[in-house]
Structure 1
Amino acid sequence: MPQSSQSGIFYALTAFTLWAIAPVYFKFMSFIPTTEILAHRVIWSCLIVLILILAMRKADKLKQVFTSKKTLLAMLLSTVLIGINWGTFIWAIGSNQLLSASLGYYINPLISILLGMIFFKEKLDPVRKAAVVLCFAAVAFEVIKFGSLPWVALVLAITFGFYGLVRKKVAIDSFTGMAVETLLMLPVALVYMFTVHTSTSNMLENPSLTNWLLFAAGPITMIPLMCFAAAANRVSLVTLGFFQYIGPSGMFILAVFLYDEPLSPEKLTTFALIWSALALLIFDSIRQLRNAKRKRSVEGITKTETI
Structure 2
Amino acid sequence: MTAATIDRRGLWAAAGSFVIWGLMPLYWHLLKNVPSLQIVMHRIVWSALLVVIGLCLTQGLQWLRTAMARPRVPWMLALSGLLIAFNWGLYIWAVNAGHVVETSLGYFINPLLNVLLGVLLLRERLTVAQWVSVAIAAAGVLWLTFNYGSFPWIALSLAASFGFYGFIRKLAVVDSIPGLAIESLYLFLPAVAALVWLESHGSGGFVGSWSWQTDALLVFGGVLTALPLIGFSYAVRRIPYSVVGFMQYLAPTLQLLIGVLVFGEIFDRDRAIGFVFIWIGLAIFAIDGVWRSRKLAPIVATES
TM-score (norm 2): 0.92
Aligned partner of 2:211 in structure 1 is 207
Partners of 1:270 and 1:209 lie apart in 2 by: 39
Contact kept? 2:10, 2:235, Cα under 8 Å: yes
Distance apart, 1:56 and its partner CA: 2.4
Aligned partner of 1:81 in structure 2 is 83
**2:262 counterpart letter in structure 1:** L
Contact kept? 1:58, 1:176, Cα under 8 Å: no
Partners of 1:113 and 1:90 lie apart in 2 by: 26
Distance apart, 1:10 and its partner CA: 1.1
Distance apart, 1:171 and its partner CA: 2.4
Aligned partner of 1:256 in structure 2 is 260
Structure 2: gaps of 5 or more residues: none
**1:121 counterpart letter in structure 2:** R
Contact kept? 1:139, 1:149, Cα under 8 Å: no
Mapped pair 1:180 → 2:218: no
1:111-260 map, 5 Å? 111-146=113-148, 148-196=150-198, 197=201, 200-260=204-264
Q: Deviations over 1:246-285 (max 9, x none)?
A: 1001101111111111101111111111101101111101
Contact kept? 2:14, 2:231, Cα under 8 Å: yes
Mapped pair 1:271 → 2:260: no
Root-mean-square deviation over aligned CA pairs: 2.0
Partners of 1:89 and 1:279 lie apart in 2 by: 25
Aligned partner of 1:52 in structure 2 is 54
Helix, strand or coil at the partner of 2:72: helix
Partners of 1:205 and 1:259 lie apart in 2 by: 27
Aligned partner of 2:20 in structure 1 is 18
Contact kept? 2:22, 2:253, Cα under 8 Å: yes
Gap change, CA 1:69 and 1:272, over 3 Å in 2 = same
Distance apart, 1:4 and its partner CA: 6.6
Q: Deviations over 1:96-124 (max 9, x none)?
A: 10001100000001000000001211111
Gap change, CA 1:58 and 1:78, over 3 Å in 2 = farther
Helix, strand or coil at the partner of 2:7: helix
How many residues get paired?
300
Percent of aligned pairs sharing the same letter: 30
Distance apart, 1:240 and its partner CA: 1.3
Structure 1: gaps of 5 or more residues: none
TM-score (norm 1): 0.92
Contact kept? 2:242, 2:290, Cα under 8 Å: no
Contact kept? 2:38, 2:195, Cα under 8 Å: yes
Partners of 1:263 and 1:295 lie apart in 2 by: 46
Distance apart, 1:198 and its partner CA: 5.6
Distance apart, 1:68 and its partner CA: 5.2
Q: Deviations over 1:106-150 (max 9, x none)?
A: 000100000000121111111111111122212221232246431
Partners of 1:13 and 1:113 lie apart in 2 by: 23
